Structure 1
């Protein structure tokens, strides 16, 4: 296998695992809640720790990638994730689950940014956007594995076995990155330059950054919070859906996300990046409202697919900094936006749990109104940030 193909394949495999882990709790949430007697707020906080730890690593991660390179930084972090998966698999308390989930978040924090850093060295500027979009689209299929296949495995061997085997898969891909890739093509020296953190002052002082960051906080945050956790309890409590049915609906939702990711780059070149984001966010708000109104079970799968598709289109917010900021600071600007994208997932996941927990539950089940309130709150926040973002449509992006 040619070296440049090997780099793409290995990092895509790593992102597949990252997306699997961020989405897995949606299917196994009812089992976690029942087995360890977790209420909604505990379940939301524990699951959200993946994203909280992921977000906390972002800014120092950028420094590490620039100085040491993705080969060593990404593989080392993934070994932390493998240890977290083993701890999660053997946990018998909320504290152990939470620590395992947080370590998995740390382990996966360097996968996407590490891949993009590697691609920037291995591929020409003309090929970079297409391959980056292909990476995100193919890797997000990890959410498909965390839908019906995970539901079947959970019923067959149990979630503990899945996370135990997953730890071995993560360690194996980490080894593949360390042994099978390079920071740069042969003959191209790795600069190992230091990073001027004063560039962050330029980024955070620009109003355009906040228009992008606050919208991605709610779009990406709500997408991952629902896909990665609350879709499962929503289907369980509102529709009394069994595990396989929940997995099938999540499969449609995750397929929508994958299609949205794959189409986003192509559509942004035709509609304009900011126009595409605006359209995607508006559709995303509409589907949140539809879910809050509890559509008939027969249309749940299409509504879930549209929720995923529209949320996936807004991923172009992560690409927008390179059109807004000078080339010298786009790396740190992108990492800073990603901090809000992942931080949004952590907080929105927790906030939804807090709102749902305000309603009286019986045997870890909550009434339909609880999910309506949580979804409408997130739809309102997304709508407010879309209005704040609206002036970006006048930009060249």
Structure 2
């Protein structure tokens, strides 16, 4: 409370700095993202119990799990506007209370419909879990440190995926899935209260004007649509696979026991967390070296496609290897959001991140539910779906990601050709990322370009 009073009295929050910002701003939002990642991946551990107790098939599990992504995608733009208008503290705390209610409702569900509705409420409640943290980082940390701090945010949040493996399995063994969700409900409500009363406020008044115009500028930005399909295709698919279909593959195709599956999921979750830290470090280093983050994102996409092909083609590799690479791709938001933070001013950070997350979560929903629909076309054999069912479903995803990568390459080629003929102001707006770092020096931009008109 004292920190907030000091912040508001001292230029709207500039009275705290250093480790105080880490403790009062970064860590509370990281805790919220931790919970969202736990909710995102927890169905991979409880799905077998849900299927056995409530008689669910692959399509049911796919829809119940994927509705989380659908609601998240639908909420991202209004949440982004609210973040820019009201600030991350208030938005995050209110939404996490909704997530707590959804978790409590999930614990009391008795069939597919009630599970679906409760899961949707959880998705709405964690809709700002990442973007609120990213908005807070943009507001409180220097621009040149944003990618690195984003990496730490995603790293700590991804530990929620670790908590959704062996720790969640230990709780399940003692209490059951209903009590587990009751525990999550209480924890989430406590985190919401912590954020509301601990996090200092930051001035967001300047960003509340022209929200619609800012959103139109984002949607009209060609640089954004150069990377959005590639980022969504890779990150959304990685989330959907780790959140549900990795344990299904390891059980049905690799023949692993329950203990082996949960241990493998724990390993992938740890790699996901470390991958976020590593990508954040690499992004920070390459920025200083003048290497564009778009190049790194494309490299991650190539490795992701190769890892999935190794599964689809059943190459003679250790079964866990490709899944570790897939897990790392789930942390590539570190790169995507750092790229977007360079495209737009901090007053538009919430909306820009929100629009990109629409693509991420929208693709995650389609990939997770679509995989379930495709797999369910094959009959189970001794309680397991055949390997070909997963190979076909994963192969369709790979084809879509390859198309997104091709679009990225074509778009870059067009931009490179156009730059030689365009005037400087247009080139600056179109390829701002080519500068390698944000320039604080004033530049002359023609009025139509400055207004986002093409």
Q: Is this a same-fold pair by TM over 0.5?
A: yes
Q: Work out the CA distance in 2 between the residues paired with 1:364 and 1:96.
A: 25
Aligned-partner SS, 1:183:
coil
Q: Work out the CA distance in 1 between the residues paired with 2:386 and 2:118.
A: 30
Q: Which residues in structure 2 correspond to 1:299-318 (within 5 Å)? A: 299-313=318-332, 315-318=334-337
Unaligned stretches of 5+ residues in structure 2: 4-18, 417-430, 437-454
Does the C-alpha gap of structure 1 residues 55 and 189 become closer, same or farther in structure 2, counting only changes over 3 Å? closer
Aligned with 1:272 (options 287, 292, 298): 292
Q: Answer with 72-81 or 116-125: which moved more.
A: 116-125
Aligned with 2:164 (options 126, 141, 146): 146
1:291 aligns with 2:311: yes
1:175 aligns with 2:157: no
Q: Work out the CA distance in 2 between the residues paired with 1:59 and 1:310.
A: 24
Q: Which residues in structure 2 correspond to 1:290-369 (within 5 Å)? A: 290-294=310-314, 299-313=318-332, 315-325=334-344, 329=348, 331-362=350-381, 365-369=384-388
* Residue 393 of structure 2: aligned partner: 374
Q: Work out the CA distance in 1 between the residues paired with 2:346 and 2:143.
A: 13
Does the C-alpha gap of structure 1 residues 190 and 177 become closer, same or farther in structure 2, counting only changes over 3 Å? farther
* Residue 108 of structure 1: aligned partner: 126
Does the C-alpha gap of structure 1 residues 199 and 291 become closer, same or farther in structure 2, counting only changes over 3 Å? same
How much has 1:121 moved relative to structure 2? 2.8
How much has 1:330 moved relative to structure 2? 5.2
Q: Which residues in structure 2 correspond to 1:36-47 (within 5 Å)? A: 36-47=54-65
Decide whether the 8 Å contact of 1:280 with 1:311 is kept in 2: no
Q: Work out the CA distance in 2 between the residues paired with 1:76 and 1:52.
A: 20
| TM-score calculated relative to the size of structure 1 | 0.92
How much has 1:39 moved relative to structure 2? 1.4
Aligned with 2:45 (options 13, 27, 47): 27
Aligned-partner SS, 2:209:
coil
Q: Work out the CA distance in 2 between the residues paired with 1:100 and 1:364.
A: 27
Q: Answer with 90-99 or 33-42: which moved more.
A: 33-42
Aligned with 1:132 (options 147, 150, 159): 150
How much has 1:327 moved relative to structure 2? 6.5
Aligned-partner SS, 1:249:
helix
Q: Answer with 249-258 or 76-85: which moved more.
A: 249-258
How much has 1:189 moved relative to structure 2? 7.8
1:248-300 CA-to-partner distances (Å, cap 9, x unmatched) read 1111222222222112232234243111111110000011111223456x822
Q: Work out the CA distance in 1 between the residues paired with 2:325 and 2:86.
A: 40
Does the C-alpha gap of structure 1 residues 73 and 312 become closer, same or farther in structure 2, counting only changes over 3 Å? closer
Q: Work out the CA distance in 1 between the residues paired with 2:101 and 2:167.
A: 23
Q: Answer with 217-226 or 304-313: which moved more.
A: 304-313
How much has 1:90 moved relative to structure 2? 1.4
Does the C-alpha gap of structure 1 residues 190 and 122 become closer, same or farther in structure 2, counting only changes over 3 Å? farther
| TM-score calculated relative to the size of structure 2 | 0.81
Q: Which residues in structure 2 correspond to 1:156-175 (within 5 Å)? A: 156-175=174-193
Unaligned stretches of 5+ residues in structure 1: none
Q: Work out the CA distance in 2 between the residues paired with 1:147 and 1:24.
A: 8
C-alpha root-mean-square deviation of aligned residues, in Å? 2.3
Q: Which residues in structure 2 correspond to 1:9-24 (within 5 Å)? A: 9-24=27-42
* Residue 223 of structure 1: aligned partner: 238
Decide whether the 8 Å contact of 1:38 with 1:364 is kept in 2: no
* Residue 66 of structure 1: aligned partner: 84
How much has 1:232 moved relative to structure 2? 1.4
1:209 aligns with 2:224: yes
1:1-34 CA-to-partner distances (Å, cap 9, x unmatched) read 9642222111111111111110111122122122
Q: Work out the CA distance in 2 between the residues paired with 1:126 and 1:313.
A: 18
Decide whether the 8 Å contact of 1:57 with 1:106 is kept in 2: yes
Q: Work out the CA distance in 2 between the residues paired with 1:68 and 1:134.
A: 25
How much has 1:192 moved relative to structure 2? 6.7
